[in-house]
Structure 1
Amino acid sequence: MKRYKLYIFLIFTLSTVSCEKLLEVDTPANQITSDQVFENVQTANAALSGLYAGLWDNSPLAGDQTGRLLGVYTDDLDFYGTTSNNGTLELFQNTLVDSNPAVYSYWANAYQKIYLANAIIEGVNASSGLSSADKARIKGEALLVRSILYCYLQQIFGDIPYVTGTDYTLNQSLSKTSAPQVLARLANDLNESLSLLAEPYRNTERIFPNRSVGRLVLAKVYLLQNRWSDAEILLKEILQNPLYQFQNDPSKVFEKSGTHILWQLKPKNPGDATKEITAYYFSNSAPTSVALSQSLMQSFASTDRRKQLWTTAVTFNNNTFYRANKYKNLNNNTTEYSVVYRLEEVYLMLAECLAKQDKVTEAIPLVNAIKQRANVQLIQQPVTKEALINEILSENRKEFFTEMGHRFFDLKRENQLQNLALVKPNWKSFHQLWPLPQKELLLNPNLNPQNTGY
């Protein structure tokens, strides 16, 4: 038991240590040792649990990170902070520089979790003590998590180093992999993950991803590669899976028991609030951090149940602000986890794939299912392909605001990021990418050249 506790300590030490060098976690002494941890399924599972705890606490999947940062970067959130020591003000004003602390933190936190995923994959591959089934499950989940993180990094930074090992002497001098190559490698890794993952969830609360989560992420990669028919196949497989049912009541969308949820992250301690509610909550005063933008609020019809149930008006000194109110429990939370993926995203992604292939008639019912639940006007035939794609983009915004940076990724995929210039005075075309962190360029010149415009 003492040795087991020591392994747990090492795992969580590794998952929280700071990255002072590119993709390097201080010293090899802090690494998970495969000859010990991965000879026992309990400690191997603990390593994997440490990875998930790190995702919830401090990563692109944490509820207070990607959604918040990309929300202010685009047009879903307004920033009301009076100081800029964390870099958020520059994101809101689109005045990024390569020394921005939020940019560096995002990069470092993502690669830290990638390092841990790589350590798990290496440990499983070298293990002689784990069963074949356990090896497949653990490696499949670690591969999937790593792929999700790389998908975020590639969309935000463009060309990035694609690290698959834990040799820090090698990692700190890696060159960038081009964006198309990153997507190709992601497709290969995700297909391998699908071959390893099982369909049933290993926990009824869906806090660990299954094969359908892998299908969804692979479909996202295929969308970025314009492989519409391949994505269509994967998304239809999810919709045909009896594990999932559409949630017709928008008031229950963010309850952890929903069968429309593909994957969610459990708070660190029992009763903890989700990261989302703490990031977006304010009451009886003006916001001191972020609030929903007027642009977003004006996009809702007055009858839209999402506006009624997922946003809250706060009036102070005759000014009205709106906060995101998707999650309800600030204290003693027993009903909410942080939703990463849900079935509504599958509906809208599939509608997009079909529209891109001129299957407009087949796509319309998928969009209308979302609209009908929201109590807004349905799409009527005839409608053009282009008009339908814009309608899907609009529904994505109203459905997924403050969730995982949807607005940025959707606009980018549709080549419509330039439309932000209409409401963001400083928006420039090169803002489709963030700058590579200055600290990393100084430590590793092989990361040059810097992204255009920075």
Structure 2
Amino acid sequence: MTMRGLVKTLLWAMMVTLPFLACKRLVDTPTPQNRQTADRVFSNDAGAQEAMTGCYIDMMNTVRSLMNGGISLDAGLTSDELKCLSPALPEDSFYLDSLTPGNLVCTDLFSTAYNLIYDWNSVLAGLSTSTGVSAPVKAALQGEATFNRAVLYFYLVNLYGDVPLALGTDYAVNQKLPRMAVNSVYLQVVSDLEEAIARLPPDYPGDGERSRPNQVAARALLARVWLYEGQWAAAESMATQVIADGRYQLVANPDSVFLAGSREAIWQLQPVHGRMATADAGAFLRLLAGKPNFVLTQQLSASFETGDLRKVHWTKNSLYGAYPYKYKQIAASGVPPEYEMVLRLAEQYLIRAEARAQEGDVAGAMADLNIVRARSGLAATTATGQAGVLAAILHERRVELFTEWGHRWLDLKRLGQADAVLSIEKNPGWQAKDTLYPIPATQLLASPGMQQNPGY
């Protein structure tokens, strides 16, 4: 099914799948009526594909959920990327590092992630018992579901630390799930991605739009996971496989990077909410009397080198400071011109650069780094030595991936730099406990025995 077909079948898909996917909290389980609906949905290829469509609608139909703009904004505010100019907004707590277990935005990040995990677990359960879905379609959809579950657990474990690991839809099991150690969650993420690589087709479904993951998307995320885990050789190998695929290129014009169907896109998500602009555009481009709600910090604005095309094309000035301008369409009718970019090629070059530098291949790391810099109109790096090149790569990640999917926030944490950097940027509000978000109070009430993160 094409993404244009997704829009056309929105209402039908929601009518078919939402009764089956209802009650999606962490501790919920399908009723017998839902089970019968699931049996009908997964009775043939078309029904199974529509169930998958319904999951993507669920993912993108809530503004600023974890997968629809939430992490880019909230993690940008938590790190040293963004400042909130509207204290009345609940997101200001992320900038001030004053989150509480009752913060509604933080709670929504957590709860919508588990709602979506329930969706993907439900799809896997339906496919596992189906006798009417053909083997190739079943394998592809199973790979797609495990991939999406891996994405969600990757972000949950990086935002909240130890988290419950729900792999099914059984109430009796899910109600008593403890928080699992970060390492255990990462093992599941790796397992899901390896299964996705084995099951997903090499090509994109439908007409080739990149809004449903293929095998390469799973490799791209696994390259990131291996980098985070310090598995340098594995990260380099996986990123190399992605880079070597001829379908992906760095887009010469920075204004075209985030368009639907961008050659740089490895995986995008189509907006379906409201007038169909991206959630990022809705967050960053809405101005009141010329005043944006969120602007770049002075430190981020100053970090762009002279002549960097990213500052020219991906930021916009106002009287109150520069604000993100990667997405440029605040509203659209029909099929939107921009899709939410989740995975793109530039990150893979930077993953491989960092992995190579960590392995001692400084020349190889510089070569990858310079490819990204060249697209941005910059000369080759002048960094020297392993430490200097690693610092240059971190800088490049900052200016290339700013306000995208929490990259900067997660980089500061995984590299152990959060305290040093943010104690200055957020003085006096920063505390070491702020490296993890609080477990929502509602979740603690629903799951007796679950422990809160330290300091909250």
> Scaled by the length of structure 2, what TM-score is found?
0.91
Displacement after TM superposition at 1:310 (Å): 0.8
Alignment map for 1:232-243 (pairs within 5 Å): 232-243=236-247
Displacement after TM superposition at 1:16 (Å): 7.5
Which residue in the other structure is 1:323 paired with? 323
Alignment map for 1:215-234 (pairs within 5 Å): 215-234=219-238
Distance in structure 2 (CA, Å) of the matches to 1:229 and 1:44: 38
Distance in structure 1 (CA, Å) of the matches to 2:38 and 2:30: 18
Which residue in the other structure is 1:40 paired with? 44
Task: State the one-letter code of the partner of 2:422.
Answer: L
**Contact 2:260–2:338 at 8 Å: present in 1 too?**
yes
Displacement after TM superposition at 1:29 (Å): 4.6
Q: Would the alpha carbon gap of residues 406 and 176 (structure 1) be closer, same or farther in structure 2, given more than 3 Å must change? A: same
Which residue in the other structure is 1:337 paired with? 339
Which residue in the other structure is 1:255 paired with? 259
Displacement after TM superposition at 1:271 (Å): 6.4
Structure 1: 5+ residue stretches without partners? none
In the TM superposition, what whole-angstrom CA distance separates every residue of 1:128-150 from its partner, at most 9, and x where no partner exists?
00111011011100000000000
Structure 1 residues 119-128 or 243-252, which shifts more?
243-252
Task: State the one-letter code of the partner of 2:266.
Answer: L
Are 1:99 and 2:105 matched, yes or no? no
Q: Would the alpha carbon gap of residues 126 and 7 (structure 1) be closer, same or farther in structure 2, given more than 3 Å must change? A: farther
**Contact 1:157–1:436 at 8 Å: present in 2 too?**
yes
Task: State the one-letter code of the partner of 2:392.
Answer: E
Alignment map for 1:41-440 (pairs within 5 Å): 41-58=45-62, 59-62=65-68, 64-84=69-89, 87-203=90-206, 204-268=208-272, 272-283=276-287, 285-287=289-291, 289-315=293-319, 320-332=320-332, 334-380=336-382, 383-418=384-419, 419-425=421-427, 426-440=429-443
**Contact 2:314–2:326 at 8 Å: present in 1 too?**
yes
In the TM superposition, what whole-angstrom CA distance separates every residue of 1:260-280 from its partner, at most 9, and x where no partner exists?
110111121796211111110
**Contact 1:67–1:402 at 8 Å: present in 2 too?**
yes
Distance in structure 1 (CA, Å) of the matches to 2:426 and 2:21: 37
**Contact 1:286–1:321 at 8 Å: present in 2 too?**
no
Distance in structure 2 (CA, Å) of the matches to 1:32 and 1:152: 33
Give secondary structure in 1 for the equivalent of 2:163.
coil
Distance in structure 1 (CA, Å) of the matches to 2:110 and 2:273: 26
- RMSD of aligned residue pairs (Cα, Å): 2.2
Structure 1 residues 204-213 or 283-292, which shifts more?
283-292
Give secondary structure in 2 for the equivalent of 1:97.
coil
> Scaled by the length of structure 1, what TM-score is found?
0.91
**Contact 1:15–1:54 at 8 Å: present in 2 too?**
no
Give secondary structure in 1 for the equivalent of 2:266.
strand
Distance in structure 1 (CA, Å) of the matches to 2:115 and 2:450: 17
Displacement after TM superposition at 1:28 (Å): 6.2
Displacement after TM superposition at 1:446 (Å): 3.1
Displacement after TM superposition at 1:249 (Å): 2.1
Task: State the one-letter code of the partner of 1:50.
Answer: G
In the TM superposition, what whole-angstrom CA distance separates every residue of 1:387-412 from its partner, at most 9, and x where no partner exists?
21121111111111121111111111
Displacement after TM superposition at 1:13 (Å): 5.3
Displacement after TM superposition at 1:257 (Å): 2.7
Q: Would the alpha carbon gap of residues 331 and 246 (structure 1) be closer, same or farther in structure 2, given more than 3 Å must change? A: same
Structure 1 residues 113-122 or 219-228, which shifts more?
219-228
Task: State the one-letter code of the partner of 1:67.
Answer: S
**Contact 2:268–2:339 at 8 Å: present in 1 too?**
yes
Displacement after TM superposition at 1:18 (Å): 7.2
In the TM superposition, what whole-angstrom CA distance separates every residue of 1:186-232 from its partner, at most 9, and x where no partner exists?
11121111110111111322110000110111122212221111111
**Contact 1:282–1:323 at 8 Å: present in 2 too?**
no
**Contact 1:14–1:116 at 8 Å: present in 2 too?**
no
Give secondary structure in 2 for the equivalent of 1:445.
coil
Tell me the matched-pair count: 440
Give secondary structure in 1 for the equivalent of 2:343.
strand
Task: State the one-letter code of the partner of 1:374.
Answer: S
Which residue in the other structure is 2:454 paired with? 452
Distance in structure 1 (CA, Å) of the matches to 2:20 and 2:404: 27
Q: Would the alpha carbon gap of residues 34 and 26 (structure 1) be closer, same or farther in structure 2, given more than 3 Å must change? A: closer
Give secondary structure in 1 for the equivalent of 2:142.
helix
Q: Would the alpha carbon gap of residues 75 and 16 (structure 1) be closer, same or farther in structure 2, given more than 3 Å must change? A: farther
Structure 2: 5+ residue stretches without partners? 1-9
Aligned-residue sequence identity (percent) comes to: 31
Distance in structure 2 (CA, Å) of the matches to 1:81 and 1:378: 39
Matching residue within 13, 18, 21 for 1:12: 18
In the TM superposition, what whole-angstrom CA distance separates every residue of 1:66-122 from its partner, at most 9, and x where no partner exists?
0001111111111122325xx322211111221211111110000000000000001
Give secondary structure in 1 for the equivalent of 2:366.
helix
Distance in structure 1 (CA, Å) of the matches to 2:444 and 2:375: 48
Give secondary structure in 2 for the equivalent of 1:61.
helix
Distance in structure 1 (CA, Å) of the matches to 2:50 and 2:136: 17
Give secondary structure in 2 for the equivalent of 1:346.
helix
Alignment map for 1:11-30 (pairs within 5 Å): 11-12=17-18, 19=25, 22-24=26-28, 29-30=33-34
